[in-house]
Structure 1
């Protein structure tokens, strides 16, 4: 999104109060990282120092010894069900001690909360004018309101000089695209956590089933239909029982956005249709992808697949926790769409001989695999305008990230001795940045290439910013490949880092960028009802409760209950 669009968004005026804006948000605990990077392996419990992204240098402990001690308060989004080592708490631990003793910064935890409760607490802080010095924000409208009302420190003139080389390298990997949404009227107002590339949904199939039936990996829509038909009708598991079902689909959200397990998005994308996104047509007109007339062709296909059993006939009833996933992991289904990290260890637990393959399919008519890039950022660390020293706050954010990534050998020894390296979530519970992850836009693809090189040649080339965690992933995936260590952890690494990630550089990959990713003034009051209407439309048409012609009624309803209002606001933001 261009900076002028952000400026117009602020110029729209604020029909919502800051408090209401802050109450939105998501239950997701982390942004900017694939779920597997949130779970440290046993092999990474002794994390050693990595190389600094840009210069090879590590933070110098004690380099601020001559500076006066300063106190910063901070809030963070926490992870659920984290068990910390004895003697370590979120507000009193070896990480905060190390930062205080070596960088003369006393980090005081003002408060923390999980998921939407974090947004509720932040809203109360905003309303009272009592913001921490450093705080996490994962609602873009809230960020804009904060910036507009002078509640954020202007980082423009202090960022480059004080942020770490690692985060500079991360910014460079985005081409600065991550900084655009947090730059208002040419002024940098936050430190963004980016959304990683390489988490687009691909087709996961049971390779052993393909082999059993003598089938090739599908490429086109017709190929996929043939494979699904065989999986349903031809006893792919060879047990002599008619017990397999079709494509596994999420009933609660059949269609969503980027990085959505068990969705149907790639089917729509193959038709050049992009539901759930604000798009721009060939004439420069802005439209909502879910109202595209071409949706009817895709819905007709999906309804037909459901009638034939090529989509799990029971999917609409599978709404309990884990029920959808279990259809695949239990061996009932052999196909689903999900990101390259969306390979489920329960499948290995239930069947250690299982074989999977990830496929960029179905392709469109020109042989391309379409997908929509994620928004550049959806969360950020903000510094309050009341902060006594924003420059040192910027510096300590960068230092904290380097410490988290393992770029300080002395710190690693101390943290490991205290048990902080035992799990990534545990580490997040004691690090000031909490659930925020700063990582390279192309890290998933880069790590995948290193894994591939090691499996196929016996060695690999380290890349800038490679952490001990990354190196451990290379080892784990290789151990699974050569059969020396087949565990749930190595299964996950192999299929994520080798089988899945190495699709990402394929010539068929065809990314598209949405015209606009974020909410508008009226989203808080309108979006929930619009989303419910849309998801009910998908479900009712696919399972045949309503005809495909109902789509026209849906579009009319969508427009009348607020869709047209949001469309006009998006157009205003974009200056159309």
Structure 2
């Protein structure tokens, strides 16, 4: 936690000086906006600059992917794409900003956006959007804009709202061929069945395989980086870091009545050798490798994960499995029937412009052009990349859709939210592996157990001062503490001390702030 606070201070010093410079130059005249707008509009008609972009981590090179050329041809802008690392992305981002990074545009997570906003590192976008981003303004709903606005009411980020409100975004992949050989013919639906499945596999295979590997930490659409898979946390009624009880009281996950029980369950799995001994140090790549190489029977994953592992496992040069040899475990129910999974209706990524950007007007124009061509850029050409089903839904034509539009999701900054909600499901169907998992866990849950989905109370909460300042570091501290508990270097009795440190490190300030927002937004007294 100290490391992140040091980085925060470094960022604060840098952006404070930038803000001071900006204020001194603007204070000479309060009536220069009209001239500035005219000059900027004229400049946009000239030669287009090459834009420098920073986005979240992906497994492909966005500069050499075919989508880069398609976007350049359609928008007229050449872009140099950079990505954050898969691990320690928050720290890397803060270091980049503190060192005066010259990115024209960055796309970050909501928590990263709120941190940068709280440090004064971002350029306000309201005027720029009015001048050059009318399609962007019209395509995004009011709640989404509020979530990306500052305390001063100005817009500081362009939201990408997740288009599917009830997806089971993270799940577990299971080797059904190995499970059946051990006498297990059905996938577990409850936490008790899951434990019994692991015990049976351990008795049958001993140390031949890793019984259950994870966690799966991937920065992708609607996924959150939890050290205990959400398929397990669902059984204990824990579905977010911040929640609200039946009396309208805001509380943190470590204060949940079942937090200790959940930790004890994971400790039991660890002590009995039912989970990967490398759980605390695994990353997305190692989890994928252990599953696809045939070393693990069950693995935490998501849609992006199976798009990588399934083709390897079913390929001739891989494990040679059949599609039916793989099963998918969704949100598990608890011993008392509890099963809660948070809805995915929320802001997933935020595109923002650093104060140091020299091409802010061009960035907004570039994003606006992309939104004007949303269907073409993300889905393709009718008859070539997709067709329409009789019900009007979009059906991709593979393999050309996957080959030529498969990675377009990474290049998204803004969408016409209403239209994209209709277009998005076709993107899941670009991959048989992704669709198999989506159908097995998300479609199944929506048909059979739709009541498991819980509203995301804070989905459109705007940037709050203390939340932006402390929440990211507190979540990291909670993650570290959780892994220490699972690994046995900390005991559940240490929770009281952790909670005290959490309170003194900004936790109580965040709670008070969020409670006030909740009361006002939902009309509570």
Please classify the TM superposition score into its range, dividing by the shorter chain length. 0.5 to 0.7
1:201 aligns with 2:170: yes
Partner of 2:448: 507
Indicate which of 492, 507, 510 corresponds to 1:548. Answer: 492
Between 217-226 and 396-405, the greater mean CA deviation after superposition: 396-405
**Is the alpha carbon distance of 1:540 and 1:248 closer, same or farther for their aligned partners in structure 2, counting shifts above 3 Å?**
same
Q: In the TM superposition, what is the alpha-carbon distance from 1:230 to its structure 2 partner?
A: 0.9
**Is the alpha carbon distance of 1:309 and 1:322 closer, same or farther for their aligned partners in structure 2, counting shifts above 3 Å?**
same
1:178 aligns with 2:178: no
Distance 2:505 2:326 in 1: 44
Partner of 2:135: 162
Q: Deviations over 1:206-257 (max 9, x none)?
A: 222333214322122221121111111124xxxxx7513432233999xxx9
Distance 2:509 2:177 in 1: 50
Contact in 1 for aligned 2:168/2:441 (Cα 8 Å): no
Q: Secondary structure at the match of 1:202?
A: strand
Distance 1:251 1:341 in 2: 11
**Is the alpha carbon distance of 1:146 and 1:259 closer, same or farther for their aligned partners in structure 2, counting shifts above 3 Å?**
closer
Give the total of aligned pairs.
443
Q: Deviations over 1:250-290 (max 9, x none)?
A: 3999xxx9444873333232121346x11111111111112
Q: In the TM superposition, what is the alpha-carbon distance from 1:330 to its structure 2 partner?
A: 3.3
Distance 1:72 1:330 in 2: 47
More helix by share: 2
Contact in 1 for aligned 2:266/2:486 (Cα 8 Å): yes
Contact in 2 for aligned 1:72/1:393 (Cα 8 Å): no
Q: Indicate the structure whose relative CO is greater, using CA pairs within 8 Å and at least 6 residues apart.
A: 1
Distance 2:202 2:134 in 1: 60
Partner of 1:397: 370
**Is the alpha carbon distance of 1:568 and 1:333 closer, same or farther for their aligned partners in structure 2, counting shifts above 3 Å?**
same
Q: Secondary structure at the match of 1:322?
A: helix
**Is the alpha carbon distance of 1:148 and 1:83 closer, same or farther for their aligned partners in structure 2, counting shifts above 3 Å?**
closer
Partner of 1:564: 508
Distance 1:337 1:287 in 2: 27
Distance 2:160 2:217 in 1: 28
Q: Deviations over 1:500-536 (max 9, x none)?
A: 5533523324222444467754567655653454234
Distance 1:22 1:246 in 2: 53
Q: Secondary structure at the match of 2:350?
A: strand
Contact in 1 for aligned 2:162/2:346 (Cα 8 Å): yes
Partner of 1:9: none
**Residues 140-289 of structure 1: matches in 2 within 5 Å?**
140-141=113-114, 144=117, 151-154=124-127, 162-163=135-136, 168=139, 171=140, 177-182=143-148, 190-197=157-164, 198-212=167-181, 213-235=183-205, 242-250=207-215, 258-260=223-225, 263-274=228-239, 277-289=241-253
What stretches of structure 1 of length at least 5 have no aligned partner? Answer: 1-13, 24-67, 101-106, 236-240, 413-418, 447-462, 478-491
Distance 1:214 1:555 in 2: 41
**Is the alpha carbon distance of 1:205 and 1:409 closer, same or farther for their aligned partners in structure 2, counting shifts above 3 Å?**
closer
Partner of 1:364: 334
Partner of 1:113: 82
Q: Secondary structure at the match of 1:225?
A: helix
Contact in 2 for aligned 1:21/1:142 (Cα 8 Å): no
Q: In the TM superposition, what is the alpha-carbon distance from 1:398 to its structure 2 partner?
A: 1.6
Q: In the TM superposition, what is the alpha-carbon distance from 1:196 to its structure 2 partner?
A: 4.7
Partner of 2:320: 352
Q: Secondary structure at the match of 2:448?
A: coil
Q: Deviations over 1:405-435 (max 9, x none)?
A: 25568999xxxxxx9996668878xxxx946
Contact in 2 for aligned 1:231/1:244 (Cα 8 Å): no
Distance 2:211 2:372 in 1: 49
Distance 1:376 1:385 in 2: 30
Indicate which of 72, 88, 105 corresponds to 1:96. Answer: 72
Partner of 2:54: 77
What stretches of structure 2 of length at least 5 have no aligned partner? Answer: 1-8, 19-43, 386-399, 521-525
Contact in 1 for aligned 2:159/2:413 (Cα 8 Å): no
Q: In the TM superposition, what is the alpha-carbon distance from 1:356 to its structure 2 partner?
A: 1.2
**Scaled by the length of structure 1, what TM-score is found?**
0.60
Distance 2:286 2:362 in 1: 50
**Is the alpha carbon distance of 1:208 and 1:522 closer, same or farther for their aligned partners in structure 2, counting shifts above 3 Å?**
same
